[in-house]
Amino acid sequence: MRLHLLLLLALCGAGTTAAELSYSLRGNWSICNGNGSLELPGAVPGCVHSALFQQGLIQDSYYRFNDLNYRWVSLDNWTYSKEFKIPFEISKWQKVNLILEGVDTVSKILFNEVTIGETDNMFNRYEQCSFSWDWGPSFPTQGIWKDVRIEAYNICHLNYFTFSPIYDKSAQEWNLEIESTFDVVSSKPVGGQVIVAIPKLQTQQTYSIELQPGKRIVELFVNISKNITVETWWPHGHGNQTGYNMTVLFELDGGLNIEKSAKVYFRTVELIEEPIKGSPGLSFYFKINGFPIFLKGSNWIPADSFQDRVTSELLRLLLQSVVDANMNTLRVWGGGIYEQDEFYELCDELGIMVWQDFMFACALYPTDQGFLDSVTAEVAYQIKRLKSHPSIIIWSGNNENEEALMMNWYHISFTDRPIYIKDYVTLYVKNIRELVLAGDKSRPFITSSPTNGAETVAEGWVSQNPNSNYFGDVHFYDYISDCWNWKVFPKARFASEYGYQSWPSFSTLEKVSSTEDWSFNSKFSLHRQHHEGGNKQMLYQAGLHFKLPQSTDPLRTFKDTIYLTQVMQAQCVKTETEFYRRSSSEIVDQQGHTMGALYWQLNDIWQAPSWASLEYGGKWKMLHYFAQNFFAPLLPVGFENENTFYIYGVSDLHSDYSMTLTVRVHTWSSLEPMCSHVTEHFVMKGGEAVCLYEEPVSELLRRCGNCTRESCVVSFYLSADHELLSPTNYHFLSSPKEAVGLCKAQITAIISQQGDIFVFDLETSAVAPFVWLDVGSIPGRFSDNGFLMTEKTRTILFYPWEPTSKNELEQSFHVTSLTDIY
């Protein structure tokens, strides 16, 4: 790609007294292909695909097979051109810079026909999943995807401004380290003072500085008086996200004033790796502000193949859905992109912790000097840009590259392995790690994910088994074993990737498909599935516990199959996540103390089958509604072991609470419970997972009259003074496909409006598993969905994301339960 800028020397003659000016080159540019046969206008920031679409030259890139049809766009060379007049006189400025915040990816930059620069790294200031993954299409975009402008200045210019709050344990006080990088173009030293003010912390400090000509760094150390109460930043569900407004004013010689404003958050983060009684290996968990936190959440991928489509509204919608589902963590996966500033600002605001990978994934990378220089610039820039965000709690060098190397994914000969290990250590340890240690002392660093953490270090930076249950984090996928059997899951220290696929809803697929595509075995369905064997794996896993759709109507079968894949995914991830949560406080067979569960993946990049819980555009799948419950701060978890039924209580709370557990047994054939048992009051300790109830299944069934495994189901919840403290959870005593007495449920809804919220009053004629409420393409979410309906009536709320009406909801509303496909 070429960037061709032509400066017209018809300049404004008026003088200026400003010490710094900026002229944006955003807006309309001209784009042409390699041989000049195609020329069109295009917006910057933007990309070629978006420009072609906006001019009506291509369809929606996600429609049907357009990821194949439009490969020619990526295979061609493109030139972005712009002619412009600068509204100031260049000769009056000591330095004039062309700033390109993001160029995708390999380009040559010409200014007035003179080559002034080249780029080869979109993660620097001037993506690998663009070339497809098993959840996304191949759209290697080209374009100027971030801001472009001309900056002119005299005396000096502030290039970077970053800071880190540091807590001094010995003095029990907070300090703030501020780092500012200047380009001093004056031939003489520039003196002045810096005033740092944080009004709500009654802090104002003044410093004298003198900047010598050239590139200069100013480091300031701000002490916050221990007599001032500093409110800390907490993850969602653990406290407030308190921040303080700070201004830093540089008053310099020549009347030059430079002011920066920022929000400062104070928090500490520790990665605890220490021996555990009764278990070999080491722990792997995080303390925030000294408090152990179980990390609950998912893995983030780019929200779109085309970054110019990722709006502020979309980011807020997706991240709000994270906290609405009781999550507190996202892992920004190393095969995507370093997200835009607004992403991290929203995570700060919402209390979402970020596990930040550097952008290296599932590959063996070179270590020639040119590549290392590019990586050095990339990593140093990203550390400066991001380290002030409290939401980021850890840096990770890469995604799965240690495991790929040591498990020999790429069939390296034994004799060549030392060469690759040396290259691995050179890149991630001697390069990236050293840059992190030098640039950011406020959070931990690990070389990879999965990794054995401290054990990996002890083994020379690569472990023989990076996926060990006794150290660090694990990635776990198993599509063949029965996901309802919790014994197949690793009782690891931390699960940072795991999951199952499902298809997105029909209303999402309908926008990018045609009638002939609406079959599970259509060419479209096979093409959209990028995970080898994925469609068969979904049906296999679903068929273990559910009857597969048998309708004679092909469209009905397709819709029912989509529904069933979402049921399967939600139930599988629920079982696995609840296993990790209840394993947080115990050691069984020397394994346990699991302190994190981040399922793969949160969001979709296009409309296709994937592991995501949020569809492209943000619609909640059944899994996301389940996550709202299985990530609840207080949760009862039921499971069987050796024909005994257990219920654990899991608490993320900081305090102890007195409560009771209610256990009910229902038959599939009646809306009245067969029996109910309420425990004595007990105290649930904060931050623990303990066994609250156990009973042999045979005794449970005998106590409840004529119950059998096939005819009954168990539900249970925690409460205090008749007030529900937890979601109502459930346990199937047999596979639903073996259920006796389950009959077709007739479910009706009366919709009313209360302000901006809509109320759905539901009534059912029979017990209904996995009740799914759908309003098509109307943006919004329900208060609950995919639930087991064991009572005749239930009230559910709908929160629209855009203005809608009761009439629109009534016309779009459809309800499905498992009984509709049996």
Question: What are the catalytic residues?
Answer: 400, 497
Contacts of residue 569, defined as CB under 8 A and 6 or more positions apart, other chains included, come to 499, 500, 501, 502, 538, 611, 621, 622, 623
- Find out whether the peptide bond into 41 is cis, omega within 30 degrees of 0: no
Residue 24 phi/psi, 5-degree rounding, is -75, 140
For residue 508, the one-letter residue type is: T
Tokens 């608490």 correspond to 651
Residue 14 phi/psi, 5-degree rounding, is -70, 135
Question: Pick from 139, 142, 144: which is nearest to 605 by CA?
Answer: 139
Strand blocks (E) in 464-551? 474-476, 495-498
Question: Pick from 271, 267, 234: which is nearest to 493 by CA?
Answer: 271
For residue 451, the one-letter residue type is: T
Q: In what order do the strands lie in the sheet with 814-816?
A: 787-789, 768-774, 814-816
SS (H, E, C) 379-415: HHHHHHHHCCCCCEEEEECCECHHHHHHCCCCCCCCC
Crossing angle of helices 554-582 and 622-630, rounded to 10°: 20
Are the CB atoms for 197 and 223 separated by under 8 Å? no
- Find out whether the peptide bond into 727 is cis, omega within 30 degrees of 0: no
From residue 240, how far is each of 249, 331, 445 by CA, in Å?
Answer: 29, 21, 26
- Find out whether the peptide bond into 601 is cis, omega within 30 degrees of 0: yes
**Tokens read off for 276:** 């555990």
DSSP 656: -
Tell me the pairing of strands 712-720 and 657-667. antiparallel
Q: How many CB atoms lie within 10 A of CB 755?
A: 5
Question: Pick from 766, 796, 642, 648: which is nearest to 716 by CA?
Answer: 648
User: What's the rounded Cα separation, in Å, for the pair 427 and 402?
Assistant: 12
Contacts of residue 293, defined as CB under 8 A and 6 or more positions apart, other chains included, come to 235, 238, 285, 286, 287, 328, 353, 595, 652
Tell whether the torsion through CA atoms of 555, 557, 561 and 564 is positive or negative: positive
User: What's the rounded Cα separation, in Å, for the pair 80 and 107?
Assistant: 10
For residue 228, the one-letter residue type is: I
Three-state secondary structure call for residue 622: helix
User: What's the rounded Cα separation, in Å, for the pair 762 and 751?
Assistant: 9
User: What's the rounded Cα separation, in Å, for the pair 121 and 127?
Assistant: 9
Q: How many CB atoms lie within 10 A of CB 486?
A: 19
Are the CB atoms for 542 and 572 separated by under 8 Å? no
